[in-house]
Amino acid sequence: MQPVIVEWMDAHQGEGYWHALSDNDMDAHVIRTCGWLISEADGGKQGHVTVAQNIDPNEMMDHVIFIPSKMVERIIGLEPIHVV
């Protein structure tokens, strides 16, 4: 499985009180998720980019996120670093 950073557009809310819309943050809310890219063949969800934070030797996974493909801005593949 490929280690990646996924940059994706997230929904976010405005202020939780009465205010003018011009006071809202109008910038894009881009999230960066880092982990192991899980293909559909390996159990990833169809129509989504599936990323797991941790994978053990038995290929058990935790902290899995399913990002709708249409929300993904880009995927950056990472190369392993060999620490001496």
pLDDT tens sequence across 5-29:
999 999 877 777 777 777 677 778 8
Phi/psi region, residue 3 (left: phi>0; alpha: psi -120 to 50; beta: rest), is: beta
CA distances from 7 to 47, 53, 67, 82 (A): 16, 15, 10, 25
Please give the model's pTM, rounded to 2 decimal places: 0.82
Residue 14: predicted pLDDT: 72
